[in-house]
A = this chain, B = another copy of it.
């Protein structure tokens, strides 16, 4: 599982949990609306700088946005 997906998933989860639209989050984080969209669609591997901005705008820690889900991208074996 790419780290981008982890970020995209967590970003969306936290954004929805905060009851914000992509536009609202983008506005709060001081970044472009379409950029947030791109991040949630794994178009980019964000730098830690925007990661920090996003986290602050969501009221969480940067590390929270990189927390991998136990069972989310679970791999059932090659068989």
Contact = CB atoms under 8 A, between A and B. Distances in A.
A27 to B, nearest CB: 20
Nearest to A46: B48
A67 interface: yes
Taken together, the copies of this chain in the complex come to 2
Interface of A: 3-4, 7, 45-49, 51-52, 61-64, 66-68
Given A3-B51, A3-B52, 19 more contacts: A3-B48, A3-B49, A3-B62, A4-B48, A7-B48, A45-B48, A45-B49, A46-B47, A46-B48, A48-B48, A48-B51, A48-B66, A61-B66, A61-B67, A61-B68, A62-B66, A62-B68, A63-B66, A63-B67
